[in-house]
């Protein structure tokens, strides 16, 4: 299909300055618009013409899931906070006064969730326990799991639109500076010495906001001699959803696809880790064509997203997402639990609810859709999957399992936690008393009850 480049295909980002005009597309109350504007002073807001014109159903706003996905909502902040900011805006308060109020509010939103600051910013120097000493002081690299290194290229630290739930929100408002991002030369030096690494995951932000030329400078050095152990290159991106034209009509779309083909031709497994939050993101012709073009290069596409209240907290939606993905030749991968940062009261789903959604979705799709795993929490020590809830005598317990761990020996071993219907994150869970084998608890930093101390592993 020859794709013509029309006006509508030119990337047009919208931010806080355009918010008032965008909100007039729908019959929202004056109060709603004023408070949403206040929220946009505190949390990042960025969307684009494609999301606004083709993904959001404006007749269903404010409940529309795609609207909730990218637009600031009043209830993302406590009432007091948003009224204070709205008041300052109404009074045309000075930037200094406004900035002071905004900083105070941000600091109460857990801007740097557990381990993120220390462990995702290698320059801060704190290390995991798996011998990844070499990462110390190398900006742009995180090496948490033995086989996989994350690479945050300096120029890929933004996105075509921002998700309201993004755990990198502090970075997008300029609160965390970008010193953790880096260049490819130190990465290559690191990888030459770390032959245990099989996967490099290029991530952000969204690395596909970079031009094809810049991306090539980040990725092609990984194809060099001496790095054959890096058999898989993954690109973490939401551009298939937020800006599918990236693969169709951007000035460098063909160059981008040619880069994908070169990676595949070099014998590497290229995986696009595609963030899709809702089946509607796979409903437009351009979205489908983008998937087809990426697959045609020989790349594999894997599909993942967090469960978010009011966006995708329904089993039917995940079943539809996974079966659409399979039909299009993509592979369902992770259903995440969103991290405990930002407006978490706004988006958080109880773990037990996330598990029910996962279970009921899996039940509705064929085995090929059940390659998805979850719900998964990316916690400090590893990726913890909620496998379910069991009756244990008179008690109910969560059955959990590490899918990934800083200590590889923890992977795949089930363990238990006390059932808590309100818990939304790992840190809120506690060991089960009287059960000797609740193993990883005993070794978690912060010294939770040494329940499993006898179950030495």
Ligand X SMILES: *Cc1c(COP(=O)(O)O)cnc(C)c1O
Q: Which residues bind ligand X (CB under 6 A)?
A: 142, 144-145, 148, 150, 201, 378, 383, 404
163 binds ligand SF4 (CB under 6 A): yes
We find the least distance from the C-beta atom of residue 145 to ligand X, in angstroms, to be 5
Type and span of the H or E element at 259: helix 253-265
| Residue selected from 132, 135, 206, 320 as contacting ligand SF4 according to rule CB under 6 A | 206
Q: Which stretch binds ligand SF4 (CB under 6 A): 30-38, 155-163, 366-374, 434-442?
A: 155-163
77 binds ligand SF4 (CB under 6 A): no
246 binds ligand SF4 (CB under 6 A): no
Nearer to ligand X, 49 or 148 (CB): 148
Q: How many residues bind ligand SF4 (CB under 6 A)?
A: 10
Q: The tokens 């279970």 sit on which residue?
A: 359
Tell me the residue nearest to ligand SF4 as measured from the CB: 166
* Partner from ligand X, ligand SF4, none binding residue 145, C-beta < 5-8 Å depending on class: ligand X
Residues 6+ apart with CB under 8 A from 219: 184, 202, 233, 259, 263
We find the least distance from the C-beta atom of residue 147 to ligand SF4, in angstroms, to be 22
Nearer to ligand X, 144 or 246 (CB): 144
We find the least distance from the C-beta atom of residue 104 to ligand SF4, in angstroms, to be 23
Give per-residue burial for 176-205: e unless 16+ CB within 10 Å, then b: bebebbbebebbbebbeebeebebbbbbbb
CA angle 399, 404, 409 (to 5 degrees): 85
Please report, for residues 160, 320, 404, the alpha-carbon distance to residue 50 in angstroms, rounded to integers and kept in the order given. Answer: 10, 22, 36
Nearer to ligand SF4, 241 or 253 (CB): 241
* Partner from ligand SF4, ligand X, none binding residue 205, C-beta < 5-8 Å depending on class: ligand SF4
We find the least distance from the C-beta atom of residue 308 to ligand SF4, in angstroms, to be 10
We find the least distance from the C-beta atom of residue 172 to ligand SF4, in angstroms, to be 7
* Partner from ligand X, ligand SF4, none binding residue 406, C-beta < 5-8 Å depending on class: none
Which ranges constitute the DSSP H helices of 115-172? 116-120, 169-172
* Partner from ligand SF4, ligand X, none binding residue 382, C-beta < 5-8 Å depending on class: none
Q: Is 47 exposed, middle or buried (0-12, 13-18, 19+ CB in 10 A)?
A: buried
Nearer to ligand SF4, 238 or 278 (CB): 238
Nearer to ligand SF4, 84 or 168 (CB): 168
Backbone angles phi, psi at 199, to 5 degrees: -125, 130
* Partner from ligand X, ligand SF4, none binding residue 235, C-beta < 5-8 Å depending on class: none
| Residue selected from 84, 119, 275, 278 as contacting ligand SF4 according to rule CB under 6 A | 275
Please report, for residues 133, 229, 290, the alpha-carbon distance to residue 192 in angstroms, rounded to integers and kept in the order given. Answer: 15, 9, 34
168 binds ligand SF4 (CB under 6 A): yes
351 binds ligand SF4 (CB under 6 A): no
CA angle 141, 144, 148 (to 5 degrees): 75
Q: Which pairs with CB-CB distance under 8 Å and at least 24 residues apart come from 356-362?
A: 356/315, 357/307, 357/313, 357/314, 357/315, 357/318, 358/307, 358/318, 358/386, 359/315, 359/388, 360/315, 360/319, 361/315, 361/316, 361/317, 361/318, 361/319, 361/322, 361/335
Beta bridge partners of 303: 274, 332
| Residue selected from 182, 205, 440, 452 as contacting ligand SF4 according to rule CB under 6 A | 205
Name the residues that contact ligand SF4, by CB under 6 A: 159, 162-163, 166, 168, 204-206, 238, 275
């Amino acid at each position: 299909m020859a794709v013509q480049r029309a006006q509508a295909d030119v990337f047009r980002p919208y931010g806080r300055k355009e918010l008032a005009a965008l909100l007039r597309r729908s019959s929202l109350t004056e109060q709603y618009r004023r408070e949403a504007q206040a929220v946009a002073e505190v949390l990042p807001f960025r969307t684009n013409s494609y999301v606004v014109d083709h993904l959001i159903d404006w007749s269903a706003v404010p409940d529309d899931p795609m609207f909730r996905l990218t637009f600031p909502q009043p209830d993302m902040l406590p009432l007091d906070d948003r009224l204070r900011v709205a008041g300052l805006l109404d009074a045309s308060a000075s930037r200094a006064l406004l900035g002071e109020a905004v900083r105070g509010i941000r600091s109460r939103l857990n801007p740097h969730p557990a381990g993120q600051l220390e462990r995702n910013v290698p320059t801060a120097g704190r290390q995991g326990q798996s011998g990844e000493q070499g990462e110390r002081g190398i900006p742009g690299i995180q090496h948490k799991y033995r086989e996989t290194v994350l690479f945050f290229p300096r120029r890929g630290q933004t996105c075509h639109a921002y998700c309201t739930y993004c755990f990198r929100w502090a970075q997008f408002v300029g609160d965390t500076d970008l010193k953790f991002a880096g260049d490819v030369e130190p990465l290559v030096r690191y990888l030459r010495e770390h032959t245990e690494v099989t996967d490099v995951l290029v991530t952000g932000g969204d690395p596909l906001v970079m031009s094809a030329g810049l991306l090539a400078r980040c990725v092609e050095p990984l194809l060099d001699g001496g790095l054959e152990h890096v058999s898989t290159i993954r690109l973490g991106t939401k551009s298939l959803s937020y800006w599918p034209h990236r693969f169709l009509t951007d000035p460098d779309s063909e160059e981008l696809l040619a880069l994908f083909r070169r990676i595949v031709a070099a014998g590497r497994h290229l995986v696009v880790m595609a963030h899709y939050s809702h089946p509607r993101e796979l409903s437009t012709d351009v979205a489908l064509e983008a998937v087809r073009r990426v697959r045609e290069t020989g790349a594999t596409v894997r599909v993942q997203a967090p469960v978010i209240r009011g966006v995708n907290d329904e089993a039917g939606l995940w079943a539809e997402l996974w079966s659409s993905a399979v039909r299009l030749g993509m592979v369902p991968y992770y259903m995440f639990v969103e991290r405990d940062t930002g407006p978490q009261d706004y988006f958080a789903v109880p773990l037990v609810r996330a598990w029910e959604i996962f279970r009921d979705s899996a039940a509705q799709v064929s085995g090929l859709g059940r390659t998805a795993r979850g719900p998964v929490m990316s916690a400090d020590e590893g990726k913890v999957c909620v496998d379910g809830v069991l009756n244990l005598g008179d008690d109910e317990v969560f059955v959990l399992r590490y899918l990934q761990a800083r200590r590889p020996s923890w992977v795949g071993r089930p363990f238990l936690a006390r059932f808590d219907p309100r818990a939304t994150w790992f840190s809120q869970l506690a060991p089960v008393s009287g059960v000797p084998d609740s193993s990883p608890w005993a070794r978690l930093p912060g010294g939770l009850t040494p329940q499993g101390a006898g179950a030495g592993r």
